[in-house]
Structure 1
């Protein structure tokens, strides 16, 4: 089983981010206490109480103090058994990863996911990131010195209006760090962000799709050439270093999400916590979890599996699709599957539906075309 904890606080707002967070940390202690209470109230949500992975996401979980981390882990251990080899990940910003903080984090977690995004100083300022280019590289060395061998870094590509060689430079500097895992995402301009508002005012134009595609191809060539396995569209890992927690999402395993805006999944349903810190705290204070529940129809389950499974090297098992749908998936989608195969985007092999290399550029479109009613 798998546990996600959403820590909705940041030092400042990155211009591209539309995740749920607040730069006001006044009620951080109250919110952590509410999360500990939610863990106790929802321990029966999962089919079993043995955790294989724990993931602190956000927001910026590296803003947590030792007392706050200890409070959350006490609540976890009261309700669950944590496997001896559990993957325990915490997302962190480079500027938080100083020696004292790293030594404290090492007592609680065994994997860091570091939001570097770029090594270019001007681009970091344009994104309103809190760290510098020097900190982006220095934090990885400091983390290793503190005993963190299991490290992942995030990068962003498809950034408009900057020299063409900067993405290649980012890749080269990332590879020089020799981290076991790397995630890379194309910049998306979301409406409720600073970039979204800039776009509405004509101050910013997104990059052309062709630029993002070129950057993606550079990414795949560089990372696979350096021995990384491209196991999910945005994720690359050295052998044995896959992100176990995120892989659980993609492979439809049950997980519990705790905190404001956190999602949970148990197979037949999903649950969505309210994305509002005061309402979340008030709800837990009265012993209620402010959340909405969605029952998933067989078609919903198939479509979610297609949307996530096709993004991975494992693809979607036809037997699983048939079982969820209650009928022959291939027969029901014969014409569209033929079209996608003729486009060179989809292949079927050994009872599995997968994307081709060129199909990875159109993953969401392919999945949407295969959706069932």
Structure 2
């Protein structure tokens, strides 16, 4: 089983914390959609005719697509790929785009899952982040979306400067009251060359606080697990039956095709990524050339990615599988280097399956990095 990721690189306005590739001008949107479809056709054989289990529209803001553009993309996909009968088809959406008319249109399309970028229900948080929606739209979009979709995920951000623990608890309680079955929650990260970084440097915004991160992460985990959510990946929580199959495919190392400017692809042995420039992407596809670079992954690269992704999930790293995939040298390296984390209570060994403990979860990326295999060369 494989997946298709489609990057829609347009937004109404730039969020202060975002470093993804996008444009606030939609003048070339219809032209770019045409080139997305051309790229799909040109690359239809890269997945070796595997059945497509997930389709994910990310961005940017995919909810800016109109009915005709969305239909054109779907028609191209279904004409050129074998799509699983029960494929998960997700579209990221901003609350301000989810009018009753748009929700009805999306519900009549192949889309069967919405991922809604709420981020916060507090007006001051949304203004600080320069989100295009307000708190009222955040609430109303979810209430309306539930009339058309059962499978809904929302994004929430914690660690926002000035956000108290009580406000964070209110954000979570609002989500619980709305009975949303999946939540993706991320710490606000200060990325280089973003507006947020400049505001912090100039003293206009308080620096993010590590202790606030930790406290609000613990509140997040305790609140959601108490209310029946499964913490199946570091940043993701789902009610039973509502885990993101698209995200799980990434973490389990399945192959996927990335379509559009800046999109990444993975075939098990190499990664490809498209140019992060809309104009150059269009010009190249007009000549039937795919503007991408390729990196062949060494066995060490693949081992490191396996360790990083698996330790973020509830599945952990199974030593038997690790040895089957990468050999004795790598499994021995993992076991020997994990010993100190076992002693410190940051990891546990459940009959040959290594997990990050609750104590170690907030340090999971650092722990994984300590377990990486670095080639001497």
TM-score range, shorter chain: over 0.9
| SS, match of residue 360 in structure 2 | helix
Aligned length: 372
Displacement over 6 Å in runs of 4+: none
Secondary structure in 1 matching 2:18:
coil
CA contact (8 A) 2:310 2:317 kept: yes
Aligned partner of residue 281 in structure 2, secondary structure: helix
SS of residue in 2 equivalent to 1:242: coil
- Which residue among 131, 134, 138 is the counterpart of 1:132? 134
Q: Would the aligned equivalents of 1:117 and 1:155 in 2 still touch at CA under 8 Å?
A: yes
- Does the CA-based 8 Å contact 1:184-1:235 persist in structure 2? yes
Note the C-alpha offset of 1:202. Answer: 3.2
User: Would the aligned equivalents of 1:94 and 1:115 in 2 still touch at CA under 8 Å?
Assistant: yes
Alpha-carbon distance change, 297 to 226 in structure 1, aligned in 2, over 3 angstroms = same
When normalised by structure 2's length, the TM-score is: 0.96
Superposed, 1:261-280 pairs within 5 Å as 261-280=262-281
- 1:157-216 superposed Cα distances (whole Å, 9 cap, x missing partner): 011123332111111111111111011000001112110121232333432211101000
Question: TM-score, normalised on structure 1?
Answer: 0.97
Structure 1 unaligned runs (5+)?
none
Indicate the residue corresponding to 2:65 in structure 1.
64
| Ranges in structure 2 where 5+ consecutive residues have no aligned partner | none
1:153 match: 154
Q: Output the CA distance in 2 between the equivalents of 1:256 and 1:297.
A: 20
Comparing 206-215 with 10-19, which one deviates more in the overlay?
Answer: 206-215
Instruction: Flag the 1:333–1:51 CA change in 2: closer, same or farther, 3 A.
Output: closer
Distance (whole Å) between structure 1 residues aligned to residue 352 and residue 81 of structure 2: 36
Q: Aligned partners of 1:161 and 1:103: how far apart in 2? A: 37
1:115-142 Cα offsets, whole Å, 9 max, x none, are: 0000001111111111111111111111
Contact 1:341 1:347 in 2 (8 A): yes
SS in 2 for 1:43: coil
Task: Give, in whole Å, the separation in 1 of the partners of 2:149 and 2:163.
Answer: 33
Deviations, residues 65-117 of structure 1 (Å, cap 9, x unaligned): 11100111111011112112111000000011111001111122010000000
Distance 1:350 1:46 in 2: 35
3-state SS in 1 of match to 2:328:
coil
Q: Give the RMSD, CA atoms, in angstroms.
A: 1.2
| 1:1-373 → structure 2 map (5 Å cutoff) | 1-108=2-109, 109-145=111-147, 147-373=148-374
Asked if 1 retains the 8 angstrom alpha-carbon contact of 2:115 and 2:154, the reply is: yes
Cα drift, residue 335 of structure 1: 4.0
Report the CA distance shift for 1:36/1:51 in structure 2 as closer, same or farther (over 3 A).
Answer: same
Q: After the TM superposition, which of the residue ranges 317-326 and 95-104 deviates more from structure 2? A: 317-326
Tell whether the 8 Å contact from 1:232 to 1:311 is kept in structure 2 after alignment: yes
Matches of 1:186 and 1:343, distance apart in 2 = 25
For residues 67 and 32 of structure 1, what CA distance do their matches in structure 2 show? 10
Work out whether residues 346 and 355 of structure 1, in 8 Å CA contact, stay in contact via their aligned partners in 2: yes
Which shows bigger deviation, 163-172 or 272-281?
Answer: 163-172
CA contact (8 A) 1:93 1:131 kept: yes
Distance 2:146 2:303 in 1: 41
**In 2, Cα distance between equivalents of 1:348 and 1:47:** 37
Alpha-carbon distance, 1:334 to partner: 4.4
CA contact (8 A) 1:117 1:154 kept: yes
Cα 1:319–1:47 change in 2 (3 A) is: farther
